[in-house]
Structure 1
Amino acid sequence: MSAVIDELAAGGVRLAVPLLLASAGELLSERAGVLNLSVEGMMLTGAFAGVAGALASGSATVGVLAALAAGLAVALLQAVLSVTLRADQIVTGITLNALALGGTTYGARLLFGDGSAGSVPGFDPLPVPVLHELPVLGPTLFEQSALGYVAFALTAVLAVACARRTAWGLAVDAVGEDPTTADRCGLPVRGVRTAVVLLTGVTSGLAGAQLALSEVHAFSDNITAGIGYLAVVAVIAGRWRAWPTVLACLFFGVVQALQFTAPALGLHLSAPLLTTLPYLLALLAVSGLVGRSRAPSALTDPFVRGG
């Protein structure tokens, strides 16, 4: 039984790593007033570009750089549409996701043919000496790939950076709560919003690389399978705060891992129920039934100077 619990914990954290990365950028973006539903498209494009770059160069590191560039490209398009041109953020995000799904599916047919499994340079687990032998925590935290460790570090840095007591965190919150007043106080509202959208592209592209180059070493159609949407849900379930969002990501990862380990634990849980749980948690978070929750006041509202 202990071995199964270890497997559940390790699998949950491993599955949570892409969520942690994507939600880290999305949290800042939403707190600045921009809802990035296109996180799914950024991740999917990053995963595709990561595999294509790794195959073309024979280097997993080049694959990661390609994934970052691809995620940034989608984010730039999102920023131009939603921040500069003030297009509807929800419609823009869904449209970009559809384009990413169609584009990567077609691109995979052209570049990979029947598939890329087993031939993609990637990142294998790097156990930390001594620490990886600790019960439960060892295989859970200290047997990650290089990208996994980068994800932990980047998530921690962004969690500290977006704290409400830091200058950057205060600027982000000011832009997301009252952009007109923030503009009158000299804050570059559009600049801040563009910056956080681009940051989301970087973290989401890295999340796609983690999924494709660390987890499966391959690309398949719709490899993200809604993980980007889950990242948005994690931010909502975390009530737009850093550490609760991290906990939501870990919970979602464990729920996903339960689909594989539940039989060994003697639990007979339906897969649809486990798939629904994250969304139920987000619904509870915004309903007020489990505590007060309030979204940033200007979330999804385009900024118009003098408006």
Structure 2
Amino acid sequence: MNTTMITEIFTSGAAFAIPLLLAATGESISERAGVLNLSMEGIMLCGAFTSVLASATTGSAVLGVLAGIGAGLIFGVMNALLSVRCRADQIVIGVAANALALGLTTFGSRILLGGGKGNNVPAFDDIHIPVISDLPVIGPALFGQTALGYLCLAVVVALAVIFSGRTMMGIRVDAVGEDATSAGWTGLAVNRTRVLGVMIAAGAGGLAGAQLALSEVRSFSENMTAGMGYLAVVAVIAGRWRVAGIVVATLFFGIARALQFALPAVGVDIPYALLVMLPYVIAIVAVAGFVGGRKAPSCLTVPYVGRI
């Protein structure tokens, strides 16, 4: 395998990892607050569909991104209402929301994006930073992204800083996720904090869907996320709810995805199914407790029945 092939693998892996990293970062904040946002798959799918529809209709990729974020936030409101206010089962909500999103986007793409309208929509072009984008292997992968790709990375950094365990916002989120009852009795607004976490995850998921559709694929196809939302949840678990771990997990998933196409091209005889299941094997290992580090928030998926 030559340098050119390795560069292509890293570039393709980074392209897959960026929306996955953004969605996983948002998901981690929701989970740290105690809400398992399993509907991330549906949020990303609706964000991708809505961004393409808006971009094709208005001729503006920027408006497409805003529409994708808006679609994610709508799902976030529904999720917050059911899981936080109504205390419904978070896993059931997520599965139902994903099924709803798949049905809506499939129907919508056939009706509203038929006849090739969803192809070659106004999108974002790659921006190669001089000199450093020419570095071998990592240059094109890290410094040849679109403007939306750089924005997604900036959002990840901002969320990591604002909700770190050393800031007041991060401490409040962790307190609610670890012991919601005690946090409520100290005066913290538990439900409001959880709603905030859900909405941040939803907005990040909508933006991640727009990034996938308008920066990487530049079109929409039915079920185009193909499990990326679930992988975002997996990345949070594998990364042990830490940003550094999530970055490593999403990069691993991105490179594993790239290898699915690269290895057969160079004649490496590895079963395709093995490469597909690798991320989930890592998730099982992490969930089983064989990966050290921080454990899941104690109140994850546990409804709060105390003070609002």
- TM-score range (shorter-chain normalised) is over 0.9
Are residue 44 (structure 1) and residue 39 (structure 2) matched? no
1:265 Cα shift? 4.8
Q: Is the 8 A contact 1:162 1:242 kept in 2?
A: no
Are residue 20 (structure 1) and residue 21 (structure 2) matched? yes
Q: Is the 8 A contact 2:53 2:118 kept in 1?
A: no
Count of residue pairs the alignment pairs up: 307
CA distance in 1, matches of 2:160, 2:179: 22
Q: Is the 8 A contact 2:52 2:220 kept in 1?
A: yes
Worse overlay, 111-120 or 168-177: 111-120
**SS at 1:262's partner residue?**
helix
1:19 Cα shift? 0.3
Are residue 95 (structure 1) and residue 96 (structure 2) matched? yes
Q: Is the 8 A contact 1:72 1:201 kept in 2?
A: yes
1:306 Cα shift? 5.9
Are residue 247 (structure 1) and residue 261 (structure 2) matched? no
Worse overlay, 67-76 or 109-118: 109-118
Describe how 1:151-230 pairs up with structure 2 within 5 A. 151-230=152-231
Partner of 1:68: 69
1:114 Cα shift? 3.9
**SS at 2:127's partner residue?**
coil
1:291 Cα shift? 2.2
One-letter amino acid matched to 1:146 = A
1:267 Cα shift? 2.6
Are residue 123 (structure 1) and residue 117 (structure 2) matched? no
Q: Is the 8 A contact 2:119 2:220 kept in 1?
A: no
Partner of 1:112: 113
CA distance in 2, matches of 1:306, 1:18: 36
1:162 Cα shift? 2.4
Q: Is the 8 A contact 1:159 1:243 kept in 2?
A: no
**Unmatched 5+ stretches in structure 2:** none
CA distance in 2, matches of 1:84, 1:288: 31
One-letter amino acid matched to 2:144 = E
Partner of 1:147: 148
Q: Is the 8 A contact 1:60 1:213 kept in 2?
A: yes
- The 1:159/1:238 distance shift into structure 2, 3 A limit, reads same
Q: Is the 8 A contact 2:14 2:142 kept in 1?
A: yes
One-letter amino acid matched to 1:63 = G
One-letter amino acid matched to 1:199 = I
1:292 Cα shift? 4.7
Partner of 1:136: 137
Partner of 1:263: 264
CA distance in 2, matches of 1:40, 1:53: 20
**SS at 2:116's partner residue?**
coil
**Unmatched 5+ stretches in structure 1:** none
Q: Is the 8 A contact 2:22 2:152 kept in 1?
A: yes
1:264 Cα shift? 4.5
CA distance in 2, matches of 1:47, 1:25: 17
1:221 Cα shift? 0.6
User: How far does the alpha carbon of each residue in 1:233-281 deviate from its partner, in whole angstroms, 9 at most, with x for none?
Assistant: 0000011111101110010000000011113455322221111111111
Of all paired residues, the percent bearing the same amino acid is: 54
1:127 Cα shift? 0.6
One-letter amino acid matched to 1:7 = E
CA distance in 1, matches of 2:289, 2:88: 30
1:98 Cα shift? 0.5
One-letter amino acid matched to 1:177 = E
CA distance in 2, matches of 1:191, 1:149: 30
One-letter amino acid matched to 2:11 = A
1:118 Cα shift? 3.8
- The 1:77/1:306 distance shift into structure 2, 3 A limit, reads closer
What TM-score comes out, normalization by structure 2 length?
0.96
User: How far does the alpha carbon of each residue in 1:200-251 deviate from its partner, in whole angstroms, 9 at most, with x for none?
Assistant: 1110000110111111111111011000000000000011111101110010
Q: Is the 8 A contact 2:56 2:118 kept in 1?
A: no
1:117 Cα shift? 5.0
What TM-score comes out, normalization by structure 1 length?
0.97
Q: Is the 8 A contact 1:4 1:264 kept in 2?
A: no
